[in-house]
Every structure is written in structure tokens, then in C-alpha cells.
């Protein structure tokens, strides 16, 4: 398969990832927004406003090449990845918060991502004359929302089938993300190797920044430790498959796709270190929000 052909079918791979997320969701998960709105709103504010704003400030300081800068913008504008809840579960976080925030941010992404990207193009001068065509926005929205809704429908109507599908869909999703990373990097292999230290250091810095903001801000507004843990991992683990898809197919910039691809290859390192550190600490007394958290069933991945 050629690189162009792979990127043409990548949205279908992303649909598999979102379908798998839907298999873990019920309408009750969204009901938690009404019962504990503060935690969800803080996570969404960090992910949609705070982290992209800090990233924009960083771009102004670093003066990156336009394609790399555009890749950073798209990455930071992307919603949380489906693996965030797994790390949150291991670290003692509020898994229900992860599931709810991931679903809501994925639903909001078709609005928030064009807004953030448009701001970057218009104000920061990255990406040249790149615009986001409305039909492409609709395409991304459909790829994100419809498969997740289908997964939720399968879970509701055929819960036993949903359980059986979790493992194969999880493995297929991991394969999709891995292939997306490899194929995004491969066409730019020479430039990738030349800029390995700079790009690698950049994405590691972005990872640490996202994880830190995700933990510190909830604690500053007096959310419980489980909610702060969930927020940190939700914001630190981005949906790189979506970011790569937007860079390569919507914006048509394969060089920009290298940034989320590199992030996808490296983000689990800082996340794993943080998870290990948090899992060893004695947790706070459960807060009212933590009573809503639930453990992931065996084989879950959302």
C-alpha cells in the first residue's frame, strides 16, 4: 500500500478506534456531567483552552518551521486518546471522568479543532495559507461521532457482543495507531532523523507540559486527587490518530503529521512514569466525585 493510499483509508482506521471507545460508553456516562460538572468542565477547559494557549506561547518563543508549528497546533487541539482511561485506572484516577471527558471532547473536536487551527494560521502565521474546508470538517466529525454512537448502540442492545468485541477491536485500534505513526514518519525519514533530537525533545516537552497542566489546574480549583490524576492523563495522552488524519488528509501536510506521529511514539513514556509514581503514593480520602468512578472491566481499553 502506498503512503497516499494509506492516508486515504486512515479515517476508516480512526473510525475503528472511536467504535471501540463507544463499546465502553453508556448514556449514564454522559449523565455524570450533570452530577459532577465541575470536574468535566475543568478537564475540557484545560484541553481546549489552557494547553493550546500555552502551546501557542511556546511557538512564538521557539520560532519553529511552519509545518512543525502546524503539527504542534493540531496535536494540542486534538482530544484525549482512548488509552488515557487505562493509565488512569492503573494510577488510581477517576475512570468515569476519563470516559466522559474523552467522549465529550471527541464530540466537540469538530468545532474546537478548526477554531484552534484557524487561530494559529491567522495569528501565529503557521501553515501558510492553509484553511480547513467545511466538507473536511464534516468528514472528521462523522468519523469521530458516528462510530462511537454505533459502539454505544451495540453495547446497549448486545452487551455480551460488546464484551467479546472489546479485545479484537482494542488490538486492531493499537495496530491502526502504530501504522499511522510509522507511515506518517516514513516519507520524512531523512528529515525525521536529522531533527530527531529537536523534534523528540519538543514532543517530550509537550507531553510533560500537558501532564503537568492536567494535574495542577484541577488541584488548584480543589478537585480531588482521583479527578486530578484522570485529568492529567486525559490531557497528556492525545488522540494521535485523529491529529495525523487532520494533518495528512485535511490539511494535506505530511511534514506536519510527523509531530503527532512522534508524540504518539513517545507520549506513553512520561505517562507511564507518572502512572508509576502516582500508583505508589497514598491516595487522598475519596471525594464526592471519586464515588462515581468505576473500574474498567477485564479487557477494557477505552
For 57-81, write each residue's pLDDT tens digit. 888 787 777 778 888 888 988 888 7
Domain presence at residue 295: no
Supply the pLDDT for residue 33: 59
Supply the pLDDT for residue 269: 83
pLDDT tens-digit series, residues 20-29: 777 877 777 6
Q: Is the pLDDT of residue 282 over 60?
A: no
CB contact at 8 A, 49 and 235:
no
Per-residue confidence band for 198, with pLDDT thresholds at 50, 70 and 90: low
Q: Which of 40-44, 177-181, 210-214 has the lowest mean pLDDT?
A: 177-181
As a three-state string, the secondary structure of 6-22 is: HHHHHHHHHHHHHHHHH
Q: Which domain holds residue 198?
A: 3-279
Supply the pLDDT for residue 235: 93
Mean pLDDT over each residue of the chain, to the nearest integer: 74
Q: Is the pLDDT of residue 208 over 90?
A: yes
CB contact at 8 A, 50 and 217:
yes
Domain presence at residue 284: no
Angle CA 171–72–245, to nearest 5: 45
Domain presence at residue 95: yes
Supply the pLDDT for residue 135: 55
Per-residue confidence band for 292, with pLDDT thresholds at 50, 70 and 90: very low
Q: Which of 73-82, 129-138, 271-280 has the lowest mean pLDDT?
A: 129-138
Domain presence at residue 290: no
Domain presence at residue 297: no
Supply the pLDDT for residue 259: 86
Q: Is the pLDDT of residue 285 over 50?
A: no
Q: What is the CATH number of the domain that holds 245?
A: 1.20.1530.20
Sequence-separated (6 or more) residues with CB below 8 Å from residue 260? 71, 74, 75, 78, 184, 238, 240, 243, 244, 247
CB contact at 8 A, 81 and 98:
no
How far is 171 from 48, CA to CA, in rounded Å? 29
How many CA atoms within 13 Å lie on the side-chain side of 131? 3
Domain presence at residue 143: yes
In degrees and rounded to multiples of 5, residue 75 shows phi and psi of -60, -50
Sequence-separated (6 or more) residues with CB below 8 Å from residue 1? none
Domain presence at residue 289: no
How far is 75 from 64, CA to CA, in rounded Å? 15
Q: Is the pLDDT of residue 189 over 70?
A: no
pLDDT tens-digit series, residues 134-188: 555 556 556 667 887 888 899 889 989 988 887 788 777 667 666 665 665 565 5
> Which residue has better confidence, 247 or 290?
247
Claim: this prediction has a pTM higher than 0.85: no
Domain presence at residue 288: no
Instruction: Give me the percent of the chain exceeding a pLDDT of 70.
Output: 68
CB contact at 8 A, 210 and 51:
yes
Specify the number of domains making up the chain.
1
Amino acid at each position: 500500500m502506498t503512503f497516499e493510499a494509506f492516508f486515504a483509508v486512515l479515517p476508516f482506521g480512526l473510525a475503528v478506534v472511536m467504535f471501540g471507545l463507544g463499546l465502553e460508553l453508556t448514556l449514564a456516562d454522559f449523565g455524570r456531567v450533570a452530577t459532577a460538572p465541575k470536574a468535566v468542565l475543568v478537564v475540557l477547559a484545560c484541553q481546549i483552552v489552557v494547553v493550546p494557549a500555552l502551546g501557542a506561547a511556546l511557538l512564538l518563543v521557539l520560532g519553529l518551521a511552519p509545518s512543525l508549528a502546524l503539527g504542534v497546533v493540531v496535536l494540542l487541539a486534538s482530544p484525549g486518546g482512548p488509552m488515557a482511561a487505562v493509565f488512569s485506572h492503573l494510577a488510581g484516577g477517576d475512570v468515569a471522568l476519563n470516559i466522559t471527558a474523552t467522549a465529550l471532547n471527541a464530540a466537540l473536536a469538530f468545532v474546537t479543532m478548526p477554531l484552534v487551527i484557524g487561530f494559529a494560521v491567522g495569528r501565529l502565521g503557521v501553515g501558510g495559507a492553509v484553511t480547513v474546508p467545511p466538507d473536511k470538517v464534516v468528514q472528521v466529525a462523522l468519523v469521530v461521532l458516528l462510530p462511537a454512537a454505533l459502539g454505544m448502540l451495540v453495547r446497549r442492545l448486545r452487551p455480551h457482543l460488546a464484551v467479546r468485541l472489546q479485545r479484537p477491536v482494542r488490538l486492531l485500534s493499537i495496530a491502526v495507531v502504530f501504522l499511522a505513526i510509522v507511515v506518517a514518519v516514513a516519507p520524512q525519514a531523512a528529515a525525521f532523523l536529522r531533527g530527531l533530537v529537536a523534534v523528540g525533545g519538543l514532543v517530550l516537552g509537550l507531553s510533560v507540559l500537558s501532564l503537568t497542566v492536567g494535574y495542577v489546574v484541577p488541584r488548584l480549583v480543589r478537585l480531588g486527587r482521583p479527578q486530578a490524576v484522570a485529568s492529567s492523563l486525559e490531557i497528556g495522552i492525545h488522540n494521535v490518530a485523529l491529529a495525523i488524519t487532520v494533518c495528512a488528509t485535511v490539511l494535506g501536510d505530511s511534514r506536519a503529521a510527523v509531530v503527532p506521529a512522534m508524540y504518539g511514539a513517545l507520549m506513553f513514556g512520561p505517562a507511564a512514569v507518572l502512572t508509576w509514581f502516582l500508583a505508589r503514593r497514598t491516595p487522598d480520602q475519596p471525594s464526592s466525585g471519586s464515588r462515581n468512578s468505576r473500574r474498567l472491566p477485564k479487557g477494557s481499553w477505552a
